[in-house]
Every structure is written in C-alpha cells, then in structure tokens.
Amino acid sequence: MIFQSESRKGIRRAALITVMLVLFMFLLLAASIPASVMVKPASLPTVEVPEALLVTNANVVDVRAGTILPGRHILVEQGKVSRISEDHPGGGVPEIDINGAFVAPGLVDMHVHVHDRKDLVTNLAYGVTAVRNLRGFPAHLRWRQELRDHDWLGATLFVSSPVLDGPKYAHALQQVVNNPDHARFLVNHYQQSGYDLLKVYGYLAPDVYEAVMDQASLIGMPVAKHGPYSPTEEPFKWLETVQSLEHVEDILQEPLNRQFDTDALRDYVEEIRKIRPYITPTLATFDHLTQLSTDKQAFVDRIPLQQLNPFFKWLYGMASVERWLQAGSEHAERNTQELDFLKHIARSLSDNGIPLLIGSDAGTMYMTAGISTHIEMQLMQDAGISDEKIIRYATLNAARAMQLDHEYGAVEPGRWADFIITAENPLDNIRNLQKPLSVVKRGQFIDRKSLDELLELADNPAGFYIGMGILLEDIVTRWWTDLVA
C-alpha cells in the first residue's frame, strides 16, 4: 500500500500534477496518436484450448487436506477437470506424461493493480492464473471481456470499482463520495457497469460509509475494504459482510496506533476472530518500500523495470518511489522494524484461525507482476506460517472469499483446469512454485519454453501514451459519472 497516511498530501499533489500533465499531453498529442491506441497489441499470446487433455502420472496437491495424491491421471474436458483417477482412463485423448511432477491449483493474487495487458501475461508465466485488481479502470472491463472471449491468453481478471474515498483525503485517481445518496448511486452504478466488487477506503464519513456498506449488502455487491476498522462508533460493524480486509499495515496504524504493542495486538485478534473475515496482509509492498529506503538504487537496479508500463512507471516513480529512495537512515530503520512487526501480525492472525489471502499489491511503486505474488508467499513463510497454509491461502481461500470455490481453488472435478506444475513438492517448500515446469490455463498446456516466451513478451508493454490514455479515460469517466449522478 503506497498511500501511507503520512504521505497522502504528497500523493495528492503528485496526482494533481499528473492529471494536469495528462490532460495537457493528451490534448497536445491527440492529433498524432493513432486510432488503434486503445486496441490490444498483436504481440499478445493466443488461446489454444484443446477439447480434451489427459495429464498423466501426476502427484496432485490436495490443498484441503495438505497432502499429496500420488500417481493420478487428470482428465480435462472443455477447460475443466472432469475426472481424476488412479487408473488410466484411456479413450484416445491427447495426453501429457509429467512423470511424477506435482500439480497444484493455479495461484490467485487477491490484491494487484493491473496497468497493462502484459501484466496478466506475466502473472500467468509465474503460475498466477487469476488476479483480483483493486483499482478498477474502464479498460479493465474491456480486458476482462477479451479474456473471456479468448482473444488472448492471460490470467483471469476480477475487477473492483474505482476506489471510493472521502473528499478530505481522496486524490485525483480515486472516486470521491460526497454524501449517502451519492454513495448509494455509486454502488448501484458500479454494479450495473459490470465491476465484480467495490473497493472502499476507511476515510469516508460515517454516514457515507454506512450507506455504501448497506447498499452493497442490499444488492449483493462484494466489498474489499482498507483496514479492519470503520469510521463509525462501532468499529467492527459491517466487517462481517466484506469480501476481504486489505493490509495488515492498517492494523498497526489504527487499532495499534502505530505501536509495536503485542498486548494490544492480542486483544485485537481476540475481537477480530469473532467474525473471522478474510484478510490480505500485503507484506510484499511494505518489503518493497523498505528495500527502496535501505538499499536505494541498488535495489531498483535489480527490478525488471522493462516489464512496467512506462507511463505508470513514471507516475509511481514520481508519486512514491522517489520518496523512499530519499528516506533517511532513521526512517529506513523504522521501516525495517515495522516490516518485522507486520510479519508478526500476519503470523498472529494465522495462528488464531483468521483466514488469510495472498495479495502482493503488485503494480504499486515498481512492483512487477507475477514474481511479487511469490515474494508475498515467501514473506509469509519467513513469518513462520506453514507452507501448507500458505498454499491454501493462495488457492482455496481466494476462491472461498469470492464464493467461487465451485470453480477455482482446487484440483478437483468440476473446477477450471488452472494448474501450476512443479518438479518438487510445494508442500515441502512454497519456493518450489517460483519457476514452474509448466502451467495449465483452462486446459491449455504451457510448457517451460512457452512460459519463457511469455516472459519475453512482458518486456514489451504498451507505450507511454497508451498508459496515459487509460488513466485519462478513467478520470473522464468518473467525472461524467458524477455529472449525471
């Protein structure tokens, strides 16, 4: 989460400058930008799903039980698992013998910010077969439809609304909500527009927040909310209805008042476990800003910046990266201490039965797609959470949080054939997932050579002005929405 409370003024100022520059540059260059600027590039990979596929000699990872089902044959038909058996089913179906490799469900990153179609290609190359994007643009709805229409190959995309925030703290990249009537209008509008869920900050006025949550509950619109608190006098009110709560950093900032207070944390966990909401820790983003503040340019030099859309790379560089590169030693040390405590919070939640999700916050700062998901899992491992739990968080928990566990989250009949195939057992070490032998996306088998080719495509995202156009479209669309509200 780059929008730290102490830097929100700087973010708003950077956002305002950005909007002004975007508008100026867009008007200046409108005549020279080709009409195809918003059209998908020809370099995207193609979808080639066979009618049937048989994956033989597989060690299937049972994420429910945390065990291995050895020597299984997985029959895939029309992109879904139709049968898993110990006996070869026969029938002349095209088959791939994986010789005892391990088959786990595809990973789901539940907190990303997608800025380019290639981000979804890169995720897939790392075995992240689905992502939940938590800052929705109109472009995301088009990309989601293109994926559904099999126009190109990438991770499944779930899309939140634009971020709903109060006028006191919101910047130009967020949807300001002014009053309860406006709140109810926006909730209905974003559901009708086709967004999968709402993204809500905790800085709304109490009556506005309650109107958002009440209307969302009334029409069945899921909500992902920043922070495990509410602006109302009843801090846990409405939290039972959310799809998930985002950022354990917000636990440190609000309930713990930025203090590394283990007693206060224990009391808070006792309260939150009564409602057991899904929580997305997003340790990776704080780890990222910590390394920016401690290792400076040496850390930046290790990041594959060529995978980032150049406009959004520039935007996040101006809005957040420069701040952490310029952080003094005292601030860097505080970041290091805070990261350690955030790991402790995640471990405490996990130990007390709070269902966690894997969410990297990829797309913020200079966090690249795919590998950031694995970094999040690795940080959970470093925190002392078991590999068995982490894999469940990245698969079955994600599906359950979205109420889609009949389609995703496990290698079982009736679910989409989204697999990550590895040489070593991921239950022994989740780092075995970081470079898969192959990935299956809805029945399409992608071998290691093809995965490397997907990563090569990731080095060529859309251009600067395409990224600018995506953001400008979002700004104009939200302005028009408010105009007709």
Which residues of the chain, if any, have pLDDT below 50? 1-13, 24, 26-37
Chain centre distance of CA 134: 7
Bridge partners (DSSP) of residue 380 are: none
How confident is the model at residue 20, as a pLDDT? 52
Percent of the chain past pLDDT 70, that is, above it, reads: 91
How confident is the model at residue 203, as a pLDDT? 81
Q: Render pLDDT for 174-232 as a digit per residue (tens, 0 to 9).
A: 899 989 999 999 999 999 999 999 999 878 888 999 999 999 999 999 999 987 777 77
Maximum Cα–Cα distance across the chain: 67
161 three-class SS: strand
Cβ atoms 174, 163 nearer than 8 A: yes
Cβ atoms 121, 370 nearer than 8 A: no
Q: Which secondary-structure segment (H or E) carries 125? A: helix 117-125
In this structure, which amino acid lies at residue 256? Answer: L
The domain ranges of the chain are 5-48+107-406
The token pair at 146 is 């293109």
Burial zone of 272 (CB within 10 Å; 0-12 exposed, 13-18 middle, 19+ buried): buried
Q: Which secondary-structure segment (H or E) carries 394? A: helix 387-394
CA dist 4 and 314 (Å) reads: 19
Cβ atoms 163, 199 nearer than 8 A: yes
How confident is the model at residue 443, as a pLDDT? 95
How confident is the model at residue 41, as a pLDDT? 66
Cβ atoms 276, 243 nearer than 8 A: no
Chain centre distance of CA 131: 5
> If you search the block for the tokens 């997907």, which residue do you land on?
454
CATH number 3.40.50.880 is the correct assignment for the domain at 5-48+107-406: no
Q: Which residues contact 139 (CB under 8 A, 6 or more apart)?
A: 38, 470, 473, 474
Q: Render pLDDT for 152-188 as a digit per residue (tens, 0 to 9).
A: 999 999 999 999 998 877 777 889 998 999 999 999 9
Cβ atoms 43, 457 nearer than 8 A: yes
How confident is the model at residue 325, as a pLDDT? 94
Chain centre distance of CA 376: 11
Bridge partners (DSSP) of residue 81 are: 76
How confident is the model at residue 32, as a pLDDT? 39
How confident is the model at residue 29, as a pLDDT? 45
